[in-house]
Structure 1
Amino acid sequence: MTGQARERERPRLAAVTAAPAQGSATADDEIDLLALLRTIWRGKWLILLCALLTLGAGIYYATQVATPRYTASTAVALQVKNPQVLDLESVMSGVSTDDTSMNTEVEVIRSRGLLEQLVSELDLLQDPEFNATLRPADEFSLRGLLAPVLGDTPEALAVVAEETVLNNTVDALRGALGASVQRDTFILNVRATTGDPRKSALIANTLAELYIEDQIAVKFRGTEEAVTWLSERVTALEDELREKEDQIATLRSESELVSPEALEGLNRQAKDVRDRLAALQGQVARDREEISALEAALETGDVAEAVRLAGDATLRQLAQRVTTGEGQAMELFERRAETVLARRAGEVDRSAAQAASLESSLTRLQAQAEAQAEELGQLQQLEREAQATRTLYETFLARLKEAAVQRGLQQADARILSEATPGEMVAPRKARIAALALILGLMIGTGLVLLREAMRSGFRSPEELESHTGRAVLGQIPRMPIRKRAQLVGYLNDKPTSAAAEAIRNLRTSVLLSNLDAAPKVILVSSSVPGEGKTTQAIGLAHNLAGLGKKVLLIEGDIRRRTFNEYFRGKSDAGLIAVLSEEVPLEQAVLRSEEFPVDVLMGQKSSVNAADLFSSDAFTTFMTRVRETYDYIVIDTPPVLVVPDARVMAAVADAIVYAVEWDATPRSQVTEGLKLFASVGTPVTGLSLSQIDPTKMRRYGYGGQYGAYARYGRKYYDA
């Protein structure tokens, strides 16, 4: 293929190989469940190992380390609103049926007051299970190791306050106790969990008894408080009632009031006097008006009017005589009129005096009625207050007698339904611990497998490599069983049907078929960094191409390190530099032997920079000449990420094989190396997985799937 044809072909290959890489980036955003399951299956032995280790640890803990715990339970039946001998709800009553009251009783059982009584009753301060200060220190435990730092020395524990010890003991006891309401019943289950089955039963029964005794004690205290309060109140009411009665007696003795009826008669009498006074005063006023009119008529000489007003028969006769003109009739008339006026004036004065007397009597009666009405009101108020005090006194006195009688009739609102028997072992639950340990081990193992997979940066299968790079994997080369580089050629000759030889043969086939229009003649082999099997592949590929009866030239392009002398026994005085400078003909510079039928052009140390040397026209002319002389030219280049030599030499290559060490070369390095080749317009033709470890491959679960190291090919290959 000419240089112009290669330049036309490389953009097409770059476009073809770039598309899968873009698709792979999209695929990375999705979770491949099948791949995840395969990953877990590949790590099945690690997962199984972790599961067995945690299972053993769990069984050891359950059987050798964990302290057995025993639980005993006492059933307490609650009396719901039980009837009492006397109706005294304020002193005695049953437990309410609502959930709140039932839950309250549960908390009462676990209250600090009852637990302190339980500690005192059973002397739990002397029990190391509840009193931590009595336990011997474990020097090998974490707390024992930190005892000097925490201050938990025997001397420090010896001076711990008694109150602190009691509080800690009560807290430990509360942690060992439990209480619950049995569903759809009024039965409380009191549980105690300790390291001794008999101790658990004793604690549960004792707590139930203390709970019942506490109920009676609470009721007795309530009754005593009620009796005391009622006694004080009855005494106070009795004194108050006596005081009210004394005030009523005093008021009755000092008051003139006989009864409310007498006050009513006095009011009627005053009304009669008031009526008489009003009539008399009206009469006096009318009489005075008549006297005034009479005096006016006499003064004016109106005899007829005076007679009419006087109403006196004698005066009327004298008026007739005055009319007839008798001589002394007028004088007699006047004297008689004066007499009538004087008589009428006397009558008016007597009426006025009588009216004054009635008015005085009315004033006296009104004052007397008002005074007696006020006293009657005070008396009635005192009587009402006394009656209310008497009623309250009698009520409290009756309640006092009831409470006094009730003191001897107290009953608890609960009773022990069934006593606890020696407890049953509830911990450790060996089956549960073993199951949880096994599950934990499986989770840890799976987590380690997934973590190892997540942290892995290399490639273990051609699918991974192709998915990540978007380029085809041309071959998969297993690690060759040689210790020294000088053994490589001998191994290729002695084991022509080995798995490694067949893998290189597959690589050769893939490279030659990479371009169906024109098989590549110049094949460049490179890698990301040193030590990835690049040189081994180049030598193996050249050896395999020579096996086709072709004339092959192997060029050591890595003139900086020059490692070919470690692979080949013969030596040559000339090399690549001498050939390029035309100091030595190519035929004299190449190294060839019977065991390696390939012309090997060794590298030489040069004072000129290697990249500049391979960019020179001399190297281009040399490559044009060897194309005509040889059927295939294989060039072993330096790593592309280390020096630019490989990218420079890629301009004269027909195919580029990029070696990737199995499960070692980081993905970022592979990506960066491919970018560097693509940046100079020479995209990589394909990749090869090198130095594959068949043992680890099978361990990871790939042994039955890929390449010459698959178990299905054992009958076809020499070991």
Structure 2
Amino acid sequence: MKSLFIKVKEMQTPVEKIDIGQYWNVVTRRKWTIIGITLGVGLLAGALLSTISPQYRATATLLIESQGENVVAIPDVYALDTRRQEYLQTQFEILKSRPLADKVIGRLELDKSDEFLPYLEPSALKTTILGMLGTKLEAQTPERREAALVAHYEDQLSITPVRATQLVNVSFESHSPEQAAAVANAHAQAYIESYLETRGQASGAAETWMGARLQELRDTVDASEKKLQAFKEREHLVDVNGIQSLSARELDQLSAKLVDARKNLVDIQSAYAQVEKVRNARIDDKLAIPVIKADPLVQQFRGSYAQANLKVAELKNRYGELHPKMKAAISERDAAQAILANQVNSVIDSIQNQHKMLVDQANSIASAVNSAKTDVQSVSRKESEYRALMSEVETNRNLYDVFQKRLSETRETSDLATPNARVVEAASVPTVPAKPRKLLFLALAMAGAFILAIIYVILIDIMNSKIRHAADVESRIGLTLLGLIPMLTKKKSSAGRMQYQQTGMQEFDESIRTVRTGVTLSALDQEHKVLLVASSLPSEGKTTVASNLAAAFSQIERVLLIDCDLRKPAVGPAFGIESNQVGLTEFVAASTPIKDCIVRDQASKVDILVAGKIPPNPQELINSRRLHALIEKLRENYDRIIIDCPPVLPVSDALLMGKLADAVIYVIKAESTTTQQARNGLSQFGRARIPVMGVVLNQINPDRLASYGEYGGGYSVGGYGYVSQSTR
């Protein structure tokens, strides 16, 4: 079965975890320190607050109109885009501007106020410091004084917009409540007046500019009208609209005539072409032309010719050609033929003349149409130029009329300017100081001091490397805690180191029995007959632990207590043994029999081997074969051998004795031995491969056990029938 004790060489520095309960124990243990710091800071804060002059704050509320009223039915001459959010932000910045501050300072004569006078001259402290440094103080010019005055004014002034409204609070702080109210109201009024003045100046500037611009527009109108008149005279225009209408009608009429003429020409063109072909042909060919054939006279003369020709044919059968009737008939026939021929030629000539007339007429009308088009285009061009000139005249005249009307309205409404803001609530004289808020400041100071005090005591506890309680043994060293031994009172500690069942201190007796039980349980799987009791430094109580632990074991076992501290032996005095008693030194060096060296304490029934005389060479004695053989022989005669040795850090005697022991019981003095000291001592045992069974935390203050969370502060809680010394 694996041994329960821990080998130091395998020990590792444990990772500390945050233990809220541990911190709470620290706070409760140092509660009076925390309360003292808190009360001290509270008293100091109260003293400081009593020296601070109260500051009063007065607030006037302004309503900034995002869209001012229009007294007249025209837009304001001096207008901003008030529909944008930037308008209100701009007004807030104007409220903070220096010109308003200068105006209020001058109006209320704040430069003569007792509150502002200290800021006009350098302070005595500044003068003294600069004098000590050898620096020459610059002269206070009027500009510096004014800048300092305005800077203090702006420090005391605050402009605060009310969220999601058009309201803004104008606040001023002062030692005088009356002055605070007066400045807040004056600043609000100065803002309103500044707006009206700005509008008035802008209106005057606009009026001057519009007057000059109006004259320029008048000259422009005159010039455009003269240009139009010159054009009408040059082009001989009276009524452009009438001329254009007449030209258009003439062109329409000529176009209609040209269409008719060309239609008639088309109609006669066929007949003309036919007659042209038969101009020199026989009469019969000419009569074959439809247009000639259709002529009424031609038809009539053709009938007369047919009758005369028929008559000649009839007479020719009865009469000869020389017959008078025959001659008369032939003559009548020739006359009819001549008349027909003349009529055919006349028709042909008529057609030719008519064709020529229609051609001439179409050409003449076409020429007239072209001329009319040219005239219409010319008139259109003149009309366009005329209308452009007329439009220019009308535009200039309208612009002139608008400016003239605006100028008249501006002159009439210059005295009707309305402010963009009004005071909703004037500042009243405050009765309660705004700051310092003494109760709040005092409460915050004490709360801060309380928190810082808690942090302070926790940091002190964290930075405290001393081993104070059981949790430190396991968390910082990583070894098993065998038990806690309470601190003895001065009265009982004066009785000597041997206290077990002799002083009546039951807590001490119980703690020794607890260590005994821990040792016994740690050796269930391996016998630990020889135990070495060691510590890091002197005065940690290793002799007390060794002596009382031996007394406790003697109740159930045969025990030998050996004092191996050959430099400062303390076991003999602890049991009241005479100083001339022979001991370990005499046995090893002078071969004194061991039975003469061992003394039995009748009260505790513990056999004791004292150190004897202090030798000049303790380590040579400890490292002798005779001593080693003695320990081996004593193992056979005793159930338990407990060895008290020197501290491990000052000398290495304990390491030599550790080779003879089965395990080491390491004693640590509570609230004295640091973590590093304990680790250094234990590491030496580790390097020497000497096993350490566990740690005994010695000289624990019983009254602090509860604050460390150990055992509830007294054994009576466990129902054992006895309580700690502090509760008696």
**What is the deviation of 1:578?**
4.5
Q: Does 1:585 align with 2:597?
A: no
Paired with 1:609 and 1:340, the residues of 2 have a C-alpha distance of 179
- In structure 1, the residue corresponding to 2:647 is in which secondary structure? coil
SS at match of 1:555: strand
- Whether 1:601 aligns to 2:611 is yes
- Establish whether residue 246 from structure 1 lines up as the match of residue 250 from structure 2: no
Provide the C-alpha distance between the structure 2 equivalents of 1:552 and 1:301, rounded to a whole number of angstroms. 188
Q: For residue 322 of structure 2, what is the aligned residue in structure 1? A: none
Match status 1:515 vs 2:515: no
Q: Which residue in the other structure is 2:123 paired with? A: 137
Give a deviation string over 1:318-342, Cα, whole Å, max 9, x none. 9878998989889999899878767
For 1:515, the aligned partner's letter is: T
- Match of 2:203, as an amino acid? T
Q: Does 1:442 align with 2:442?
A: no
Matched, 1:267 2:253: no
SS where residue 211 of structure 1 aligns?
helix
Partner of 1:13: 4
Amino acid at match of 1:474: G
Out of 331-340 and 193-202, give the one that drifted further. Answer: 331-340
Q: 1:563/1:43 Cα in 2 relative to 1: closer, same or farther (>3 Å)?
A: same
Counterpart in the other structure of 2:324: none
Match of 1:414 in 2: 421
1:59 corresponds to 2:46: yes
1:397 aligns with 2:404: yes
Per the alignment, residue 487 of structure 2 pairs with 478
Larger Rg: 2
Select between 284-293 and 216-225 the one with higher mean Cα deviation: 284-293
CA shift for structure 1 position 451:
0.7
- Contact 1:520–1:655, Cα closer than 8 Å, also in 2: yes
- The correspondence for 1:108, drawn from 94, 107, 110, is 94
Deviation at 1:409, TM superposition (A): 1.1
Three-state SS of the structure 1 residue aligned to 2:433 is strand
Structure 2 partner of 1:555: 562
Deviation at 1:177, TM superposition (A): 1.2
Is the 8 Å Cα contact of residues 62 and 430 (structure 1) preserved in structure 2?
yes
1:393-438 Cα offsets, whole Å, 9 max, x none, are: 4333323222211101122233345543444422222211211121
Q: Is 2:186 the counterpart of 1:206?
A: yes
Structure 1 position 87 matched with structure 2 position 96: no
CA drift at 1:25: 6.2
Which range moves more in the overlay, 469-478 or 214-223? 469-478
Matched, 1:297 2:265: no
Letter in 2 for 1:509: R
Over 3 Å counting, the alpha-carbon distance change for 1:241 and 1:58 in structure 2 is same
Identity fraction in percent: 22
Q: How far is 1:40 from its partner?
A: 0.7
CA 1:249–1:631 in 2, change beyond 3 Å: closer, same or farther? closer
Counterpart secondary structure, 1:601: coil
Within the alignment, does 1:197 sit opposite 2:172 as a pair? Answer: no
The 5-angstrom pairing of residues 30-179 of structure 1 reads 31-64=18-51, 66-78=52-64, 81=67, 83-91=69-77, 105-122=91-108, 134-137=120-123, 139=125, 153=135, 155-156=137-138, 158=139, 162=143, 169-179=149-159
Map 1:482-631; keep pairs closer than 5 Å. 491=496, 498=503, 505-506=509-510, 508-510=512-514, 512-513=516-517, 514-515=519-520, 522-538=530-546, 554-559=561-566, 576-581=584-589, 583-586=591-594, 599-602=609-612, 604-605=614-615, 609=619, 614=622, 617-626=625-634
Deviates more, 1:375-384 or 1:628-637: 628-637
SS at match of 2:123: coil
**1:423-463 residue CA offsets vs partner (Å, 9 max, x unmatched):** 44222222112111211221121111111221122333345
Aligned partners of 1:497, 1:461: CA distance in 2, in Å? 26
CA distance in 2, matches of 1:145, 1:366: 104
CA displacement at 1:209 relative to structure 2: 1.4
Contact conserved, 1:69 with 1:427, CA < 8 A, in 2?
A: yes
In 2: Cα distance, 1:184 partner to 1:535 partner: 81
Asked if structure 2 preserves the Cα contact closer than 8 Å seen for 1:457 and 1:663, the reply is no
| CA gap 1:703/1:59 in 2 versus in 1, 3 angstroms | farther
CA 1:350–1:431 in 2, change beyond 3 Å: closer, same or farther? closer
1:270-285 pair list within 5 angstroms: 270-280=251-261
Secondary structure of the 1:179 match is: strand
Q: 1:705 — aligned with what?
A: 713
Q: 1:695 to 1:383 in 2, by over 3 A?
A: same
CA distance in 1, matches of 2:252, 2:643: 153
Q: 1:701 to 1:607 in 2, by over 3 A?
A: closer
> What SS does the aligned partner of 1:458 have?
coil
For residues 186 and 510 of structure 1, do their structure 2 counterparts lie closer, same or farther at Cα, with a shift above 3 Å needed?
A: closer
Q: What is the CA distance between 1:106 and its match in structure 2?
A: 3.8
- The equivalent residue for 1:4 is none
Q: Deviations over 1:244-282 (max 9, x none)?
A: 433443444433454534533333333333443454466
Distance 1:559 1:430 in 2: 69
| Separation in 2, partners of 1:272, 1:446 | 117
- Pick which of 209-218 and 695-704 moved more: 695-704
Task: Please say if residues 553 and 600 of structure 1, whose CA atoms lie closer than 8 Å, have aligned partners that are also in contact.
Answer: no
**Gapped regions of structure 2 (runs ≥ 5):** 313-329
In 2, distance between residues paired with 1:591 and 1:705? 39
Q: CA deviation at 1:706?
A: 4.9
Query: Which SS does the other structure have where 1:515 is aligned?
Result: helix
Query: Deviations for 1:643-697, whole angstroms, at most 9, x for unmatched residues?
Result: 6643553455477432111112233554565576578786545533234467887
Q: State the alpha-carbon separation in 2 of the partners of residues 488 and 591 from structure 1.
A: 24
Deviation at 1:620, TM superposition (A): 2.9
What residue identity is the alignment partner of 1:72?
A
Q: Is the 8 A contact 2:715 2:722 kept in 1?
A: no
Secondary structure (helix, strand or coil) at the match of 1:425 reads coil
CA contact (8 A) 1:43 1:700 kept: no
Which residue is 1:5 aligned to? none
Residue number in structure 1 paired with 2:320: none
Is the partner of 1:426 in helix, strand or coil? Answer: coil
Alignment of 1:379 onto 2:383? no
Letter in 1 for 2:218: E
Contact 2:563–2:643, Cα closer than 8 Å, also in 1 = yes
Number of residue-to-residue matches in the alignment = 686
The aligned counterpart of 2:326 is: none
Map 1:179-190 onto structure 2 (within 5 A).
Answer: 179-181=159-161, 188-190=168-170
Residue 627 of structure 1, CA deviation: 5.3
Deviations 1:616-650 (A, max 9, x none): 64323212444567787542223345666435534
- For 1:431 and 1:651, locate their aligned partners in 2 and report how far apart those are by CA, in whole Å: 70
Match of 2:5, SS state, is helix
Report deviation, 1:61. Answer: 1.1
In 2, the alpha carbon distance for the partners of 1:546 and 1:364 equals 153
Letter in 1 for 2:28: W
Change (3 A) 1:255 1:559: farther
For structure 1, the residue ranges without an aligned partner over 5 or more in a row are 1-7
2:434 partner SS: strand
| Root mean square deviation, CA, Å | 5.3
